Amino acid sequence: MLGMNLINRNKPNEAIPFLKNSLLVSLDYGMVDVIQANYDGLYQAYQKLNKTDSAIVYLEKWIHLKDSLTNLKAQEKIDWLETEYRTAEKQREIAQLSEIKSKQDLEIAQQRNWIILLASAILGVLLITLLVIQFNKRKSQAEKDAAIIKERDKGTEAVFNAQEEERKRISKDIHDGVGQQLSGLKMAFQKLSKDLAVSNPEKQDEVKKLIGILSESADEVRSISHQMMPRALSELGLIPAIEDMLDKSLKPNNFEYEFEQFGVEERLPENIEISLFRILQELINNIIKHSKANHVSIQLLKNNRKIIMIVEDNGEGFKSNVKSTGHGLLNIKSRLNTVHGEVNYEPCPKSGTTATIRIPLA
């Protein structure tokens, strides 16, 4: 009956095992009616599966056995059929209830899946919202930090610009004022010395001594004026200014030095020229005062995107505390910030220090 019910539900593959098991049992017990029913069921199952050969085999067995059932009482046949019918009806009811329950379970599962999906979507939206808020906070903080750094660099640049303007003014005042006065005074003393050579020879040595002092003072004033703002930097450019500065700072201190430049054919922007000159001036002063070196090599290179200056010495190298806290080095870093440059200090292969300055060009 289970096999027949499955055939009625169009599941012949599932029906065949039940029918064959039933056939084996009915053959053992000689249950002719059940045997015939199994033959009929197997015939129907194989016919639904389009297995014609197997279906014909069981149809022939069913026909052959049919004659042997003619002697059974009609009532027994009716009772058997009625029982089969009722059983089939019960099976159909069970199948219908099972189908209804399956649909209900499916609906419940679908509702549960929708709830999980909706909860996941809400959680995802909350997570994305939190990430967006966090991103916006970080972006806002980064913009604030960038604005602070920009304003700081502008302030530092304004200070350096003011310093350079003041140096220009002081240099001009010294050169055109005190310097000219000392030059005039020196010329007057030289004329006085010539006059005294005739009228008062004994005073001539004293006057010559005063002329020497006056010459030293004039030279000192010119040196101060030159350090405040070298005329070579403003009038001739960076390369002549560097050569003049190295000649006047390293030679008197018995330093050997080399200066090479590559690609610097034209004038650079004024703020970059001043920054490079002041940075090199600071590095040279540090080398003279602290490095115990006797040789300096300077290279200045320019390409389409940046200008690079490399300063090497053969001294003792940086001490750990000087590298990070030296006033001169902090001043170099501040100057580089105003032109978006950077500096890197490394030990030389043998001894001393290599300072590499990189400044981008617009």
Domain boundaries, the chain: 2-109, 230-360
Q: Cβ distance 18 to 6 under 8 Å?
A: yes
With contact defined as beta carbons under 8 Å apart, do 224 and 217 qualify? no
DSSP letters of 111-158?
Answer: HHHHHHHHHHHHHHHHHHHHHHHHHHHHHHHHHHHHHHHHHHHHHHHH
Phi then psi for residue 357, to 5 deg, are -110, 130
Give pLDDT, residue 324: 47
CATH architecture of 230-360: 2-Layer Sandwich (3.30)
**Bridge partner list, 346:** 354
Asked whether the CA dihedral 224, 228, 234, 240 is positive or negative, the reply is positive
What pLDDT is attached to residue 304? Answer: 80
Give the CA distances from residue 177 to residues 67, 172, 183, 338, 358, in Å, rounded to whole numbers and listed in that order.
148, 8, 10, 33, 38
Separation of alpha carbons 242 and 319, rounded Å:
27
Give pLDDT < 50 ranges for the chain.
175, 320-324
Check residue 230 and give its pLDDT: 65
Burial class (CB in 10 A: 0-12, 13-18, 19+), 298: buried
Query: For residue range 60-90, what is the model confidence (pLDDT) as tens digits?
Result: 888 888 766 665 555 566 567 778 878 888 8
Percent of the chain with pLDDT over 70: 75
pTM value? 0.46
